[in-house]
Structure 1
Amino acid sequence: MEPTRQSSDPAETARRARFGELPRSIRVEEMVEERPAGAPDPAKDGYSADEWLVRWCL
């Protein structure tokens, strides 16, 4: 690690204050948001393949 230098130049001091160190590491767990894709649809389970066969094939 390099020792910090004191500078009289205000632009360099501001630059070091802003960019002087790397940001903290972000873990993979912090990058992912988990939530359900959507609410269950009750009409989806209302279809019966057997009922369709009886109505259209017999």
Structure 2
Amino acid sequence: MSDDNAVEIAEAARRARFGKLPERVRSEDMTEMRQASPHGAIGAAYSPEGAWQYFSCLALDLGL
């Protein structure tokens, strides 16, 4: 009987300390859908002449 009483006391202490779990957050509330680049954004067009500036290459960095 004392084991049951100890379990109930421990459970009551745990509930008093931690309360209840927070409400669940839906995945729809955690994500937001937006376009990656709005239509007509400046710089959104691909430029093959300037594309090399955006990539890193160890061989180029070392001058090989």
TM-score scaled by structure 2? 0.32
Max Rg structure: 1
